[in-house]
A = this chain, B = another copy of it.
Amino acid sequence: METGDMILVSVDDHVVEPPDMFDNHLPAKYRDLAPKVIQNESGNDVWFYEGVELPNIGLNAVAGKPPEEYGIEPTTFSEMRPGCFDVGQRVRDMNANGVLGSMNFPSFPQFCGQLFSRTEDKGTALAMVQAYNDWHVDEWCGSAPGRFIPLAIPPIWDPQLMADEVRRMADKGCHAVSFSENPEKLGWPSYHNAHWDPFWQAIADTGTVPCLHIGSSSQLTITSVEAPINVMISLQPMNIVQAAADILWSRVMVEYPTIKFALSEGGIGWIPYFLERVDYVYEHHQAWTGQDLPMKPSELFRDRFITCFIDDAVGISNRDAVGVDTICWECDYPHSDSTWPDSPERLAAALEGVSDADINAMTHRNAMRFFQYDPFSVLDRADCTVAALRSTATDVDTAARSSGKIVVRPSTPVTIMDLAAASSPTKSPASSPTKTPA
């Protein structure tokens, strides 16, 4: 297949929420309580909610920056590429990269909307979650029909409310919900607990996919606080194996046999080993551990999990052992691991020798099937290829642009402790909103 003929659907990108996102979606009584973007004393744009300045990690919005300027320091909207937060510009950046469809994970509310779960008044909390979801589906995704796979956040503090929200969102055409790779690490019951059953039931009833993004247990992978940050960056995708094992051996597999879980940004190259391992464990230990499964663990995984990769030659060459029908592709725009704006070329290099059927499965068909996403009902298929989309975006400047700031390369490696400090919310009266950007 020619690079230009591929059709690319990315199941993992990120939205940096724009400051006006709550303007149209909250009942009057909650409007003043909504999170606001403020400029803090250091001159950074930060979200401010319930007296707390939320962390702003520049590394999460680096598309279009030269790598020397990546970093964990906060950033401002004016320093970001507009495609991070402006949906019109986002679609243009997708076009320039030949990407047809995209699923966008949240930024400031955290992957499972944990931010709102900490709001004491649960009426307010639910209003914020629903406003977020309405903005996401109606305004962000709605502005470009056929170009986005909508993804809801859950009111994670109450499984019945979660169920209601899943059904409400399914009625709006949203069949994906962000959930945690390990809710126990967030302070909720684990996958082994019946606590979540109303949520699972709604998910099963609506054919919704719980999407478990790496990092959604809010646990940094810390070998040591002294470790260079490269340790954490190296380990992050593969850490999703913890969730894969946890869920594979959980009651959800047996009680809700139609639910499929997406392991978002988890990579795929480790999966053949993992599947061999779980089968080995089942063979060696089933007799005494008292746990039976409806089929071999590797078969169960291939039946119930959706996987994805950014750039993973090992995984692609072992795709049959992964399960080619489970694999989706992702771009990870605007994060630092993204291949934007050269995704088609990087992907084509890794796909050399792969059949058209397998390419189509991994680049878009699997994603369309899993997420009930049908772009061809609104767009002409011929307009959806890499070449066709890029031809509409020849004016988009994708060259890396320096912010002009003087960047000094650190003399000792950035550590996990540095990141932990940057990731902490600041509760400080000095940070009260004094200036709201336009």
Contact = CB atoms under 8 A, between A and B. Distances in A.
Interface string A178-203: 00001010000111110000000000
A336 B285 contact: yes
Contacts of A412: 290
A257 interface: no
A120 interface: no
Interface in A242-287: 242-243, 245-246, 248-250, 267-270, 272-274, 276-278, 280-282, 284-287
Contact of A230 (B69, B190, B249, B312): B249
Interface stretch (A2-10, A231-239, A428-436): A231-239
A269 B278 contact: no
Interface in A311-359: 311-315, 318, 321, 336-337
Given A228-B192, A238-B274, A288 B223 contact: no
Contacts of A289: 228-230, 233, 410, 413-414
Contacts of A66: 287
Q: How large is the interface on A (under 10, 10 to 19, 20 to 34, 35 or more residues)?
A: 35 or more
Nearest to A269: B273
A108 interface: no
A287 B191 contact: no
> How many copies of this chain sit in the oligomeric assembly?
2
A123 to B, nearest CB: 31
Nearest to A241: B238
Contacts of A249: 227-228, 230-231, 234, 413
Contact of A242 (B70, B223, B246, B318): B223
A70 B285 CA distance: 8
A391 interface: no
A280 to B, nearest CB: 7
A71 interface: yes
Contacts of A313: 276
A437 to B, nearest CB: 26
Interface in A370-415: 407, 409-414
A78 interface: no
A336 to B, nearest CB: 6
A221 interface: yes
Nearest to A408: B290
Nearest to A411: B290
A277 B267 contact: yes
Nearest to A412: B290
Nearest to A414: B289
Contacts of A315: 273
A32 interface: no
A269 B241 CA distance: 14
Nearest to A278: B234
A145 interface: no
Q: Which of A238, A273, A409 has the most CB of B within 10 A?
A: A273
Nearest to A223: B246
Interface string A203-228: 00000000000000000010111111
A42 interface: no
Interface of A: 66-71, 182, 184, 189-193, 221, 223-231, 233-235, 237-238, 241-243, 245-246, 248-250, 267-270, 272-274, 276-278, 280-282, 284-291, 311-315, 318, 321, 336-337, 407, 409-414
